[in-house]
Each structure stands twice: as C-alpha cells, then as structure tokens.
Amino acid sequence: MLARCEKASEPSGLYGIRVEERSDAWYATWGFALNQRRATRERYGDTVVRSSLLLADGFPGCPHCEAASFVQCGTCQRLTCWDGAVRVWHCRWTPCRGSGVPGGAIERFGRHGDV
C-alpha cells in the first residue's frame, strides 16, 4: 500500500507499506522508500481491503522521517505518516489538503500484493 511522508516534499516522500493478514486484522510490518514510476508500474494501492489495519510489533515507520505511525485522510482516504509530535496532521497527497486531529481506527485501506 502507498503512503506519503508528512515532512518530505513531493514527490520524494512516497513510500510503500508491507501489510500482512493475521487472524484478527491486517498489520503494517515494513515501510520502504518508493518512487512514483515504480508505484505506478507495479500498481501499488489498486486493491481495497475492508478490514482493520494495525501496526505490528517492530514496524519501522516511515523510511523518510521514521515517524512511527500514519493517518488515513478523511477526504482522500490515502495514508500519510504521522509522528504524533504535533496535534494537527496535514495530508500530503496533491491536490488534497485535508487536515485535522487524528483519531479512530483505519477500517478500509488500499494494498498491493505481498510486497
């Protein structure tokens, strides 16, 4: 699945999140830097999963800024990393500029294969 770094400027802040299905939910297990061309070619984010998304123990966070978590934008439904240091979060996906105070759980998300 795809995410953007909240602190990096576009397009350099794109990254992939490896997810793993377990008995109770899907878990984010790994984060890796990704360029737009590869993300488009390999169709990251094309699949939508209707399930909870949680962080696995040992999830390394954003590969650009090491933020330990991410937020799903309520406007565009995409993911942006979030370090929790500031209360207000800002979506980094153009043209969306959603923002707000993170809260709640991710119940539906996009993913791509077993990356």
In the chain, the percentage of residues whose pLDDT exceeds 70 is 84
Where does the pLDDT of residue 111 fall: very low under 50, low under 70, confident under 90, or very high at 90 and above? Answer: very low
Residue 58 backbone class (left: φ over 0; alpha: ψ -120 to 50; beta: rest) = left
pTM of the model as a whole:
0.79
Which residues span the domain enclosing 55?
A: 2-111
**69-81 pLDDT tens trace:** 888 888 888 888 8
How far is the C-alpha of 104 from the C-alpha of 28, rounded, in Å? Answer: 17
**23-52 pLDDT tens trace:** 988 899 999 999 888 888 888 777 677 778
**Are the beta carbons of 110 and 39 closer than 8 angstroms?**
no
Where does the pLDDT of residue 112 fall: very low under 50, low under 70, confident under 90, or very high at 90 and above? Answer: very low
Q: How many domains does the chain have?
A: 1
